[in-house]
Amino acid sequence: QMQLVESGGGLVQPGGSLRLSCTGSGIYFTLYTMRWYRQAPGKERELVASIFNRHSTSYADSVKGRFTISRDDPKKTVYLEMNSLRPEDTAVYYCRGDRSGVTTNWGPGTQVTVSS
């Protein structure tokens, strides 16, 4: 079972940028599609971005053009580059992997707050 830990969150001003990291463990990291989710208080957890490889990525409409997902398999890490941040991006961000219908556990999440 792969364990994941998110990091890189913090407080940023509207229009600012932040890069989140999610680091896994184990020898099967490359087999997983990796995904970033976020959840704000009172809202459902939503899928933000997904990546299987550099040629296969997808984004929620709300972040398309502003966020970029990438991965570094030797480092067992997936990144979320967040640009042009808005207050509505404020949430706890989580990562999770899946393959063949099986999902990893959630990581602990990292808080992103966009406020002036």
Mean pLDDT value across residues 100-105: 91
Indicate the average pLDDT of the chain: 96
> What does the pLDDT average to over 55-84?
97
Q: Would the pLDDT of 86 be above 80?
A: yes
Range 73-89 average pLDDT: 97
Residue 35 to residue 33: CA distance in whole angstroms? 7
Mean pLDDT, rounded, for 67-88: 97
Q: Is the pLDDT of residue 109 over 90?
A: yes
Q: What is the mean pLDDT of residues 19-38?
A: 93
Closest CA to 4 of 80, 64, 115, 67: 80
CA distance 108 to 7: 9
For 18-28, what is each residue's pLDDT tens digit?
Answer: 999 999 988 78
